[in-house]
Amino acid sequence: MTFKPAHLLVVLLATALPAMAQNLAVVNGKAIPSARVDAMVKQLATQGQQDSPQLRAMVKQELINREVLMQEAEKSGIASNPEVKNQLEIARQSLLIRALMVDYVKKNPVSDAEIKAEYDKAKAQAGDKEYHAFHILVEKEDDAKAIISKLKAGAKFEELAKQSKDTGSAAKGGDLDWASPATFVPAFSQAMTGLQKGQFTEVPVKTEFGFHVIKLDDVRASKFPSLEEVKPQIIDGLQQQKVQAFQQNLVKKAKIQ
């Protein structure tokens, strides 16, 4: 069977077009795959960019610019620079490790039972009450005792709180806002929950931060969020735990000399 020149051109075009469609552009004879556009658009989507013809046009130009610069970098021999080699290897490691972790999470999803168990655990730890407390934190026990003496003499807690080491609450008169006892270190929590409304601790409370004078303003029933409200955070936390355990297990099994 023989082809006329026109027929031959049609055949050549028919075989060339699919290959051309797979390429974004050809720069100095080197093709840029069209799939690379999709990959970059997908990456930009994680940063809040919306897929659009305008975005794809920008990505196309960016990829062409990169290819031109890459070819120049290779031509200059910069890739053989020891520092550049090290940076390339670090970037390669980071990319592969990230892909490994994404793959691990995909193959080991957090189950509904795990989510519910974590939620119930957090709810139990939070308790059924919230406390509105104030405190004054000082370095020395004698300073805390002096503050307690002044309070007993009628001094205002909010005024004395200005000398607190906890500058965040000091600016608000020592106000720690509403919180569950689990929010605080055990010694602080125990002293706080032992107070009646309006009372302050008559003995300095020692923690790793210093010495506290605590005043309890009010108590109310806890308003714990529903499972659906905190589900995304729980999933994220459990995924991080799984990934960390996976990593630790690999390191433990590795032969390190």
- Tens of pLDDT along 200-212? 999 999 999 999 9
Mapped to the 3 state alphabet, what secondary structure does the chain carry?
Answer: CCCCHHHHHHHHHHHHHHHHHCEEEEECCEEEECHHHHHHHHHHHCCCCCCCHHHHHHHHHHHHHHHHHHHHHHHHCHHHCHHHHHHHHHHHHHHHHHHHHHHHHHHCCCCHHHHHHHHHHHHHHHCCEEEEEEEEEECCHHHHHHHHHHHHCCCCHHHHHHHCCCHHHHCCCCEEEEECHHHCCHHHHHHHHCCCCCCECCCCEEECCEEEEEEEEEEEECCCCCHHHHHHHHHHHHHHHHHHHHHHHHHHHCCCC
For 42, how many CA atoms within 13 A lie in the half-sphere containing its CB? 5
Residue 45 binned pLDDT confidence (cut-offs 50, 70, 90): confident
Which of 244, 131, 145 has the alpha carbon at shortest distance from 204? 145
**Contact (CB, 8 A) for 131 and 192:** yes
What is the reported pTM? Answer: 0.61
Does the structure show a pLDDT above 50 at 13?
Answer: no
Per residue in 217-229, pLDDT tens?
Answer: 999 998 889 999 9
pLDDT of residue 54: 93
Per residue in 52-71, pLDDT tens?
Answer: 999 999 999 999 999 999 99
For 40, how many CA atoms within 13 A lie in the half-sphere containing its CB? 19
> Which residues, including other chains, have CB under 8 Å from residue 155's CB and lie 6 or more apart?
none
pLDDT of residue 127: 85
Does the structure show a pLDDT above 60 at 17?
Answer: no
Does the structure show a pLDDT above 90 at 14?
Answer: no
For 71, how many CA atoms within 13 A lie in the half-sphere containing its CB? 12
Per residue in 84-136, pLDDT tens?
Answer: 999 999 999 999 999 999 999 999 999 999 999 999 999 888 888 999 999 99
> Which residues, including other chains, have CB under 8 Å from residue 246's CB and lie 6 or more apart?
101, 104, 108
